[in-house]
Chain A
Amino acid sequence: MNQAVLSKLKAIVGENHILTEFEDRYCYSFDSTFINSMPDLVIQPGSRDEIAAICRIAYANDIPVVTRGAATGLSGGAVPVKGGIVIETTRLNKVLEVNTSNFYAIVEPGTITQDYLAAVDKAGLFYPPDPASSKMSTIGGNIAECAGGPHGVKYGITRDYVLGLEVVLPDGSIVQTGNLIDGDMSGPDWTMLYCGSEGTLGVITKIMLKLTHKPQAKQTMMATFSAIEDAATTVSTMMASGVIPTTLEIMDNMTIRAVENFLNIGLPIEAGAILLIEVDGDPQAVEKHVQHVLKVCNDCNASSVKVAKTAQEADGLWKARRSVSPACGKLNPTKISEDATVPRSRIPEMVSAVQAIAKKYNLKMVIFGHAGDGNLHPNILSNKHDKEEMARVEKAVEELFQVALKLGGTLSGEHGIGYLKAPFLVWETGEEGFKFGKDVKQAVDPKSLMNPGKMFDYHDDKAV
């Protein structure tokens, strides 16, 4: 990067908030996927105006800008595949307001999701989206990737809670979308354009979020099935029957075995699948829902259903789910987490398809997902140093995408498209849809400087 530009950027944020050393830039060359690409510079701005000033300079000098929070994404969205400037938003980390009369919050994008959740909880309100990464991910990243989480089944995902945004556009101008009242504004819903935009249309600098009431009561259950097909049928039947659980998580046999091997807590290792089900609401409704859940599970051949009697017991049931990642890590080191998602009614078919693909490519594949919203999270357990196996993984993933789309599903339930799924995006959108996406991108970012190489700006050249 030329010295004149560098000194201008230093003048904006100060020497301490720019990283130029090779070793430091190297640490910003990745996210939670397995791809790497070096940025030319890392900047940690402290305000919206600094971000706008950085964007103006980048725009004048045709330098790519890649915005990131904690870089915990699973689609390569935060990897600077074309180099350029990485803007890390984590210094903008304040919860500016939690409004308890009008049920909204205003947050800066670099706020850690967990910190924001704690602030909302302290105010006595509830913000449902709960991505597994909430301990480290940022709220800005949640919006840019449109994160989900176990609560999504009943409460919806991040997109459903965004009322409005403040965005710095590629040329450094600043716009506000939506409003604090109902998120609506005159004209189309620009806010939605930015949910899941993955930094390709500008930099989100302020976020207005909708809040809701805390559920008064909840109940956790674990249903065991000898055949995974029955568990899958339970999910689709349950969702069609009108009682929507807060959480409906599935674990297949290989996952159960891995977790039991890891924890020794007496999980049924012969079971084909386990469903972890949680219902919430006012206490009477919860009781009714529990009875309903029990009936559906039994009708669908559950071999047993355990209802947690205490909060401790509930926590015990959740412990198994929370330990899936480390437990699977013991089987094989590289875990490739996919989130191809299908309509809830098609879950049984998707389960069979995943099993068939695992067999065909001779891969260890586990299912442990938010089955309730059709997101089975098939995870391939592999070793990234095994080139031959990784080639099979690549083929299996492609086939997974094809099957999901054939069943009326989508490439991504919650991880985003980023770089890794960009080559397949056209399968979902069709040629015309893809062109429309490109046109929108072109209109907002005519120089293709915002997170280039991602989503609709994908060109067939792999990152190193």
Chain B
Amino acid sequence: MNEHGHEEWKQQLVKCIRCGTCRSVCPVFKEENNENTTARGKVQLLEGVLEGAVKLTPTLQERFNKCLLCKACVKGCPSGVRTDTLFLSARLTNANKNSLPLAKRLAFKGLTFRKLFDTGLRIGSVMQNVVMKKSDDGRGNQARFNIPGSGLDLRRIIPPLAAKPLRDIVPEKTTVTNPKGRAVFFPGCMLNYIYPEAGKAVVNILKRNNWDVTIPTDLSCCGTPAFTSGDQATGRELAAANLKALAGDYDVVITACASCGAALKNEYGEILQNESDHNAWQKLSKKVLDISEFVVKYGDPALFGALPMKVTYHDACHLVRGMDVSKQPRQVFATVPELDFRNMKDADVCCGAGGTFSMAYYNLSRRINDHKLDNAEATGASCLVTGCSACRMHITDGLSQRNSNMRVMHTAEIIDMAYQNGEKQKKGGKQV
């Protein structure tokens, strides 16, 4: 949906019967208790915009920014109003009118210069200690001082940039003999620069199931931060670049990041305009699989070894509602021997990260996160597993803030560990 799609707005807006069901599902509303955060409130504001009663003011822009884009309202809406695409479109319209903050504009533009972006983050990896210091519990870094435009709260603990990005650890092409298929892996920025070990686990999983893996060098950021903030031009540019990089004779496109996956599988369809890009996307979309989907569909359960851990699982919004992935990781956990999986209450409720939301509204996102942590801790699990690095980062920060010992791991890491144990057992078995 684009800015000029006012007819599309109308079609969606008229469906809202203002029943207020969104009040019962919106994590932001539950904290703020204010109708201006509900989906129906924002839908009415957009009706007002169409009627001319509401102007595209910076205040209005702020109201639309205060949304996690967690899609809980879309899922809960009895009338099927596509509030997610509506609100993205509203952000775009507002951004075109009021423009985005300079820091955001520069950052998004930077994403389109892939090599520059890559070099910047590599330099950042070396230089990060100038502005960041290690947190007391050693789990991550905290800003030494307020960094203008960074949106980084001084209390916030974020993981450091990895010393070596994923691409330096694993080759562009990993080949096996007699491959069962060819996978192309889209690691996305967070697995590449911050959590390369989780990215490596994905490659291991594919390799172990006897698939060829390619990580094309010219992949860019998926574009989610840009197009969800209203910078659709940058989002489109990045999408087109990625479609080109991913075009090849691959059987599956593997993602291990909720937002990248949802973008490749669904959201590119909303932002791409020209026909050839759209056609290319449709072909690609059908092949996109989250790594947990891959394991359920193509993985060999006999490879799993015992993994005696107590784990719980957090459904990332863009996995459960963006890619319809929630059964698959649980199916995998149920298959791994000795893995003690404990479902938490409200597992599919947003953790409060919401991308740039947690920068703009750190306190609010912390409060939302606290409910998640309470529910996770109530299960008695020692490790929280999730399929999204942004959730992982936010949840880890929350656990540090409350001095909890709970670990946070990526789904792929758990699967890879179970495979490793399987191999050890097999070897051990031979020895006996």
Whether A27 lies near B20 (C-beta < 8 A) is: no
Which stretch from B34-42, B282-290, B325-333 is at the chain A interface? Answer: B34-42
A335 contacts partner chain B, Cβ-Cβ < 8 Å: yes
Whether A91 lies near B14 (C-beta < 8 A) is: no
A135 contacts partner chain B, Cβ-Cβ < 8 Å: yes
Report Cα–Cα, A137/B35, bound state, in Å.
Answer: 13
Whether A326 lies near B78 (C-beta < 8 A) is: yes
Across-interface contacts of B45 in A (CB, < 8 A): 23, 26-27
B93 to chain A, nearest CB (A): 15
Q: Which residue of B lies closest to A86 (CB)?
A: B35
Whether A23 lies near B17 (C-beta < 8 A) is: no
Whether B18 lies near A136 (C-beta < 8 A) is: no
Across-interface contacts of A71 in B (CB, < 8 A): 20, 35
Across-interface contacts of A19 in B (CB, < 8 A): 34, 36
Whether B14 lies near A334 (C-beta < 8 A) is: yes
Across-interface contacts of B14 in A (CB, < 8 A): 333-334, 383-385
Which stretch from B55-63, B125-133, B176-184 is at the chain A interface? Answer: B55-63
Across-interface contacts of B15 in A (CB, < 8 A): 329, 333
Whether B36 lies near A326 (C-beta < 8 A) is: no
Whether A135 lies near B35 (C-beta < 8 A) is: no
A-B CB pair tally, cutoff 8 Å: 87
Across-interface contacts of B48 in A (CB, < 8 A): 26
Report Cα–Cα, A91/B21, bound state, in Å.
Answer: 19
Report Cα–Cα, A318/B19, bound state, in Å.
Answer: 20
CB within 8 Å for A27 and B54 given contacts A70-B20, A133-B20: no
Across-interface contacts of A384 in B (CB, < 8 A): 14
Q: Which residue of A lies closest to B59 (CB)?
A: A23
Q: Which residue of B lies closest to A327 (CB)?
A: B78
B33 contacts partner chain A, Cβ-Cβ < 8 Å: yes
Report Cα–Cα, A300/B78, bound state, in Å.
Answer: 34
Give the interface SS of chain A, mostly helix, strand, loop or mixed: loop
B217 contacts partner chain A, Cβ-Cβ < 8 Å: no
Across-interface contacts of B63 in A (CB, < 8 A): 23-24
B265 contacts partner chain A, Cβ-Cβ < 8 Å: no
A234 contacts partner chain B, Cβ-Cβ < 8 Å: no
| Interface members, chain A 287-340 (any B CB < 8 Å) | 325-326, 329-330, 333-335
CB within 8 Å for A30 and B18 given contacts A23-B60, A326-B78: yes
Report Cα–Cα, A135/B72, bound state, in Å.
Answer: 15
A31 contacts partner chain B, Cβ-Cβ < 8 Å: yes
Report Cα–Cα, A90/B34, bound state, in Å.
Answer: 9
Whether B19 lies near A27 (C-beta < 8 A) is: no
B24 contacts partner chain A, Cβ-Cβ < 8 Å: yes
Across-interface contacts of B18 in A (CB, < 8 A): 30-34
Across-interface contacts of B308 in A (CB, < 8 A): none
| Interface members, chain A 62-115 (any B CB < 8 Å) | 70-72, 88, 90-91, 112, 114
- In the complex, which of the residues B20, B24, B79 contacts A326, with contact meaning CB atoms closer than 8 Å? B79
Q: Which residue of A lies closest to B13 (CB)?
A: A333
CB within 8 Å for A27 and B33 given contacts A135-B24, A136-B20, A326-B79: no
- In the complex, which of the residues A30, A88, A91, A333 contacts B79, with contact meaning CB atoms closer than 8 Å? A333
Report Cα–Cα, A28/B48, bound state, in Å.
Answer: 13
B80 contacts partner chain A, Cβ-Cβ < 8 Å: yes
Whether A136 lies near B24 (C-beta < 8 A) is: yes
Whether B79 lies near A27 (C-beta < 8 A) is: no
B10 contacts partner chain A, Cβ-Cβ < 8 Å: yes
Report Cα–Cα, A133/B78, bound state, in Å.
Answer: 12
Most chain B Cβ neighbours within 10 Å, of A90, A136, A384 = A136
Whether A27 lies near B41 (C-beta < 8 A) is: yes
Most chain A Cβ neighbours within 10 Å, of B33, B35, B36 = B35
Across-interface contacts of B20 in A (CB, < 8 A): 32, 70-72, 133, 136-137
B44 contacts partner chain A, Cβ-Cβ < 8 Å: yes
CB within 8 Å for A24 and B24 given contacts A32-B19, A72-B19, A133-B19: no
B23 contacts partner chain A, Cβ-Cβ < 8 Å: yes
Report Cα–Cα, A36/B51, bound state, in Å.
Answer: 13
Report Cα–Cα, A65/B372, bound state, in Å.
Answer: 38
A388 contacts partner chain B, Cβ-Cβ < 8 Å: no
B12 to chain A, nearest CB (A): 9
A44 contacts partner chain B, Cβ-Cβ < 8 Å: yes
Q: Which residue of A lies closest to B81 (CB)?
A: A329
Report Cα–Cα, A24/B32, bound state, in Å.
Answer: 13
B42 to chain A, nearest CB (A): 8
Whether B17 lies near A334 (C-beta < 8 A) is: yes
- In the complex, which of the residues B17, B24, B35, B57 contacts A28, with contact meaning CB atoms closer than 8 Å? B35
Interface flags for A121-145 (1: CB within 8 Å of B; 0: not) read: 0000000000001011100000000
10 pairs across A/B with beta carbons < 8 Å? A19-B36, A24-B34, A26-B53, A26-B54, A27-B38, A27-B44, A36-B44, A114-B24, A326-B79, A335-B17
List 20 extra interface pairs beyond A91-B33, A383-B14, CB under 8 A: A23-B45, A23-B57, A23-B59, A24-B63, A27-B34, A27-B35, A27-B36, A27-B41, A29-B44, A32-B20, A112-B24, A133-B19, A325-B78, A325-B79, A326-B78, A326-B79, A326-B80, A330-B80, A333-B15, A384-B14
Q: Give B residues with C-beta under 8 Å from A.
A: 10, 14-15, 17-21, 23-24, 33-36, 38, 41, 44-45, 48, 53-54, 57, 59-60, 63, 78-80
Q: Give A residues with C-beta under 8 Å from B.
A: 19, 21-24, 26-34, 36, 44, 70-72, 88, 90-91, 112, 114, 133, 135-137, 325-326, 329-330, 333-335, 383-385
8 closest residue pairs by CB, A with B: A27-B41, A27-B35, A329-B79, A135-B24, A136-B23, A72-B20, A333-B14, A27-B36
